[in-house]
Amino acid sequence: MTAWTVASETGALTDVLVCPPDHYRWIPTNTIVKRTLAEAQQPAPLALAAQHAELVHALRQGGATVHVLPPEPHLPYMAYTRDSAFVTPWGPVLAQLERPQRRGEYAAVIDFHQGRFWRKSSAGTLEGGDVHILKPGVAVIGASGGRTDLAGAEQLAGWLRAEGWEARIEVFDEHFLHLDVLFCMAAPGLAVACTDVLDPAFLAWLAGHGIRCIPVPYRDAMALGCNILALGGGRVVSARGSAALNAALRAEGLAVLDPELSLFTAGGGGPHCLTCPLRREGT
């Protein structure tokens, strides 16, 4: 049996998986990074390492043990550990990445988990950035077709429903890459969400589950403003660039740890994408 279990996005984070950005570079895989590539030179390795170290420091400060996936030279986006596998209350699920440039990431996560997965995605495509366990018993799976597709989302939803869970599949435009570009949990009953873009029916469903949303405007969401990581215990990691959101989170009484992550958000991923929670305590 695996030691890794995560029952919600908001329990106290005790263990998390990251991957150092030794081989990170921007490649044109999503709308956000395409915009970056049109305007900027590739980021300097030392600057990437410094920003990633700020993230790791915040995770440790939040009380988590940080586990490290060894980076591989031919996989520039391994730093976004959220997507290749994710953890459920029954153990890790091996995802099925859509982009050819990222598919090889499966190898290192299989090694890390020593092949001990609860389930392995085998229908369509499924990426961890589209999966949110809102609270025990309730999950939402984003399906844009660009990354996670309906077949991949339905397969995961079926596994969760077989355990008696409610699993909602939320369809959205592939322009937004992953659902965690538009929505993340901050604390029990509190999310951050790009309410301009998300379907009102989804927002109503969240409200019906007792989840209130701090609104994030479209422009900020495309700068990864919604892409936060709840640490539990009233703490969150949110990129320093998300100044307005961070003020709103603090006004809610949350402690915000705000590493500088501009080089990673320019590639289409913030604190949520750069971390794969392995174990959380409580909900």
Ligand X SMILES: NC(=O)NCCC[C@H](N)C(=O)O
Query: In the complex, which residue's CB is closest to ligand X?
Result: 129
Site for ligand X in 220-249 (CB under 6 A): none
268 binds ligand X (CB under 6 A): yes
Looking at 52-60, 111-119, 173-181, 246-254, which segment touches ligand X (CB under 6 A)?
A: 173-181
Compute the distance between CA of residue 141 and CA of residue 11 in angstroms, rounded to an integer: 19
Count, residues in the chain: 283
Among residues 11, 92, 124, 129, the one that binds ligand X under rule CB under 6 A: 129
The candidate with the shortest Cα–Cα distance to 128, out of 164, 102, 165, is: 102
Complex with ligand X: residue 106 or 281, whichever CB lies closer? 106
Compute the distance between CA of residue 75 and CA of residue 53 in angstroms, rounded to an integer: 20
Among residues 15, 154, 180, 220, the one that binds ligand X under rule CB under 6 A: 180
Looking at 15-23, 41-49, 62-70, 267-275, which segment touches ligand X (CB under 6 A)?
A: 267-275
Looking at 164-172, 174-182, 194-202, 275-283, which segment touches ligand X (CB under 6 A)?
A: 174-182
Site for ligand X in 71-110 (CB under 6 A): 77, 80, 82-83, 99, 102
Q: How many other CB atoms are found less than 10 A from the CB of residue 157?
A: 20
The candidate with the shortest Cα–Cα distance to 224, out of 244, 213, 236, 238, is: 238
Complex with ligand X: residue 248 or 276, whichever CB lies closer? 276
267 binds ligand X (CB under 6 A): yes
Among residues 13, 17, 19, 33, the one that binds ligand X under rule CB under 6 A: 33
Compute the distance between CA of residue 272 and CA of residue 261 in angstroms, rounded to an integer: 11
Compute the distance between CA of residue 180 and CA of residue 204 in angstroms, rounded to an integer: 18
Q: What residue ranges in 99-241 does DSSP mark as E strands?
A: 119-120, 131-135, 138-143, 166-171, 183-187, 190-193, 212-215, 229-232, 235-237
